Amino acid sequence: MFNRNMNLDNLDKDILLKNKIPLLYSEPSWTKLFGNVDNKKIENAKEELMELVSREKELEIQNKELQKQKLRSMKMILGISDSVNNESKVENIGLLDEYKEQILQINQALDELTFQLETIPKEIRESNLQLLKATIEYSYSELKIREKFVKEANSEIETLRARLKILIDTKHNYEEWINETYTFLHGVLGSEEIEKIDKERLK
* pLDDT per residue rounded down to tens, the chain (203 residues): 445 555 666 665 566 556 678 899 999 999 999 999 999 999 999 999 999 999 999 999 999 999 999 999 998 888 887 776 676 666 667 788 888 899 999 999 999 999 999 999 999 989 998 999 999 999 999 999 999 999 999 999 999 999 999 999 999 999 999 999 888 888 888 888 878 887 777 66
Report whether 101 contacts 107 (CB < 8 A).
Answer: no
Say how far residue 66 (Cα) sits from the centre of its chain.
35
In the chain, which residue ranges form alpha helices assigned H by DSSP? 11, 28-34, 40-87, 93-189, 191-201
Report whether 125 contacts 22 (CB < 8 A).
Answer: no
- DSSP 8-state code for residue 26: G
Please state the pTM of the whole predicted model.
0.69
For residues 1 and 138, give the distance between their C-alpha atoms in angstroms, rounded to a whole number: 15
